[in-house]
Amino acid sequence: MNAKTKRAKQTYEEINRRLRALSLPFFLHSWEEERMPEAGKPYRNGQLVELSAIAYEYQTGARYTRGIETLYADRESLDSVLRHEIEEAKRNADKLAKVPKEDYLAYRNVLLEAYPKFVEAKNTGKFDPVKPYLKKILAYNRKYVVWEETDSLKGYDVLLDEYEPGMTVQKYDEFFGLIKTELVPFLKKVLAAQKPVHPAFTERKFPAEKQKKFCEYLGEVMLFDKAKTMMGESEHPYTNNNGNCDVRITNHYYENDLASAIFSAIHEMGHALYELQVSDDLQDTMSGGGVSMAVHESQSRFFENIVGRSAAFWHRHFPALKECFAEELKDVTEEDFFAYINRVSAGFVRTEADELTYPLHVLIRYEIEKEMFEGSVTEENVEQVWNAKYKEYLGLDVPDAGLGVAQDMHWYGGSIGYFPTYALGSAYAAQILFAMRRDFDADAAMGDPTVGKIAAWLKEHIHQFGSSKSPADILQIACGAPFDPHYYIDYLKQKYAKICGISAE
């Protein structure tokens, strides 16, 4: 590394420290956003936009961009972590340079204002409160894809690539095509073979306090280390982190639904484990967090479904559940519970969908997003289109926006192109399971008192790297092969064929 590169590295690291520091108020704001005093929001939003302006100025400033150019030009002399980081930084800097400051800041403000409107829409079941915000968000994203188009990435592809680098409409079409061909007919057979669940689950109340207590227990199982974590509450469960020693999840407790908070907790703790296990060495770099949305989702859904809905897991933990809900589950057996949490049925809500219908929920969102950029879906007709697709794919009549188009915060938080990574992440998770099984008896380890063995494997093969490698490279390291969606199909068919006593064909 020559003296010029060395100086550029110093500048780059100095400004990155600033940028990491400027992420703190956003982290803290999101943690308390739903509890903060309502009347304080306009002042708060003004501050957050101003902080975005400071970060934007650092990111687009000559010192930073010139530093990145210098490092990029001499990238052969950098260690592999910094080299990968600089390639990403160069791409991001080139992209941000195309976004005018006024648009960028005005959009931050739109997103801050949209969030409480999303909560209102979800809670009231009416799309109206959030509609004008979706209009603005779509308008910005349509402008954005034009700014960012390249020879190889056009329209919606620009957004898809942001959430999972390398993914395009062509690749997702292929992936979702396989799901339609393979899973839709299989789903019909499974649905026909379903038996009713124990009435306890639909007829009884499960007190929120007991649910919280059981989620604390799950925290111990999932190595959700109290010294490094917090559990909170929000409308829509999520995980957020500030470095690898402050990782927070939220949950939502429904007293008429025992499974919701349990599987949200395991899901979010899967995300959390990923962040907790990123190497300490990466904490002072820009590679210190999970690499991509699909890889992140592969971790959360690995724990939620592959571990958390396994027979071994509940053979170990059902006694604790039963102890916690002694009255509510007094006549319920382990087998009843296992059947309940693996029951397949067409429902309205993505986050509460079983493993088989889940990718269809995602497919619907993917198709709508495509239409937002390639077709005619706008804020005006998105609710009708949504409802029509739920009828077509799942045979359901959506009763209101809270159970429909306003159930997920993503679009109203500016995340368009994000949803498809959920199905992709589930598919990654299945492939990871097959890789894990080659190294140890992963299925037996799901029945251990904690997820320690599984976590150690994931740390070694995925988590430790943070975002210091590309998603494709990490998958290659973990699985010894490129992504192959057939593992996902195989996993689902084998699992449900066994549960339902039907053929896996």
Nearer to a copy of itself, 36 or 146 (CB): 36
Q: Does 243 bind a copy of itself (CB under 8 A)?
A: yes
Q: Does 61 bind a copy of itself (CB under 8 A)?
A: no
Q: Does 198 bind a copy of itself (CB under 8 A)?
A: no
Strand order in the sheet with 247-251: 229-233, 247-251, 239-241
Cβ-based neighbour number of residue 167 at 10 Å? 23
Q: Which of 252, 254, 264 is nearest to 205 (CA)?
A: 254
- Interface residue with a copy of itself among 36, 146, 388, 481 (CB under 8 A) is 36
Q: Does 283 bind a copy of itself (CB under 8 A)?
A: yes
Does the active-site annotation cover 268? yes
From 27-35, 367-375, 411-419, 441-449, span contacting a copy of itself (CB under 8 A): 27-35
Size of the site for a copy of itself (CB under 8 A): 40
- Interface residue with a copy of itself among 12, 31, 118, 140 (CB under 8 A) is 31
Q: Tell me the CB-side half-sphere exposure of residue 274, using CA atoms within 13 A.
A: 27
Q: Which of 233, 321, 224 is nearest to 275 (CA)?
A: 224
The rounded distance, in Å, linking the Cα atoms of 112 and 107 is: 9
Q: Does 106 bind a copy of itself (CB under 8 A)?
A: no
CB of 236 to a copy of itself, least distance (A): 21
Nearer to a copy of itself, 4 or 226 (CB): 226
The rounded distance, in Å, linking the Cα atoms of 161 and 169 is: 10
Both tokens assigned to 245: 């020693």
Q: Does 209 bind a copy of itself (CB under 8 A)?
A: no
CB of 39 to a copy of itself, least distance (A): 4
From 38-46, 183-191, 193-201, 489-497, span contacting a copy of itself (CB under 8 A): 38-46
- Per-residue exposure over 229-245, b if at least 16 CB sit within 10 Å of its own CB, e if not: bebeebebbbbbbbbbe
**Burial of 439 by CB count in 10 Å (0-12 exposed, 13-18 middle, 19+ buried)?**
exposed
Q: Does 51 bind a copy of itself (CB under 8 A)?
A: yes
The rounded distance, in Å, linking the Cα atoms of 373 and 172 is: 15
CB of 226 to a copy of itself, least distance (A): 8
3-state secondary structure of 291: coil
Nearer to a copy of itself, 126 or 228 (CB): 228
CB of 232 to a copy of itself, least distance (A): 10
Q: Does 63 bind a copy of itself (CB under 8 A)?
A: no
Phi, psi of 85 (to 5 degrees): -65, -40
C-alpha dihedral over 462, 248, 217, 206, to 10 degrees? -120
Catalytic residue among 164, 268, 304, 328: 268
Q: Tell me the CB-side half-sphere exposure of residue 147, using CA atoms within 13 A.
A: 17
The rounded distance, in Å, linking the Cα atoms of 300 and 274 is: 9
Cβ-based neighbour number of residue 505 at 10 Å? 8
Q: Does 40 bind a copy of itself (CB under 8 A)?
A: yes
Q: Does 37 bind a copy of itself (CB under 8 A)?
A: yes
The rounded distance, in Å, linking the Cα atoms of 486 and 500 is: 21
CB of 55 to a copy of itself, least distance (A): 10
The rounded distance, in Å, linking the Cα atoms of 482 and 474 is: 10
Nearer to a copy of itself, 13 or 94 (CB): 13
Nearer to a copy of itself, 54 or 106 (CB): 54
- Interface residue with a copy of itself among 47, 202, 256, 381 (CB under 8 A) is 47
Q: Does 83 bind a copy of itself (CB under 8 A)?
A: no
**What is the DSSP secondary-structure string of 473-487?**
HHHHHHHSS---THH
Asked if residue 121 lies in contact with residue 402, where contact means CB atoms within 8 angstroms, the answer is yes
Q: Does 230 bind a copy of itself (CB under 8 A)?
A: yes
Q: Does 7 bind a copy of itself (CB under 8 A)?
A: no
Q: Does 212 bind a copy of itself (CB under 8 A)?
A: no
Q: Does 21 bind a copy of itself (CB under 8 A)?
A: yes
Q: Where are the beta strands (DSSP E) in 190-311?
A: 229-233, 239-241, 247-251
Per the listing, tokens 């010894």 go with 480
Both tokens assigned to 322: 């039963």
Nearer to a copy of itself, 246 or 334 (CB): 246
CB of 31 to a copy of itself, least distance (A): 8
Nearer to a copy of itself, 29 or 316 (CB): 29
- Interface residue with a copy of itself among 2, 46, 97, 452 (CB under 8 A) is 46
Nearer to a copy of itself, 228 or 322 (CB): 228
The rounded distance, in Å, linking the Cα atoms of 133 and 116 is: 11
- Interface residue with a copy of itself among 226, 315, 437, 498 (CB under 8 A) is 226
Asked if residue 278 lies in contact with residue 288, where contact means CB atoms within 8 angstroms, the answer is yes
Nearer to a copy of itself, 18 or 330 (CB): 18
Q: Does 182 bind a copy of itself (CB under 8 A)?
A: no
For the annotated catalytic residues, the residue numbers are 268
Q: Which residues bind a copy of itself (CB under 8 A)?
A: 17-18, 20-25, 28-29, 31-32, 35-40, 42-44, 46-48, 50-51, 53-54, 225-230, 242-243, 245-247, 283
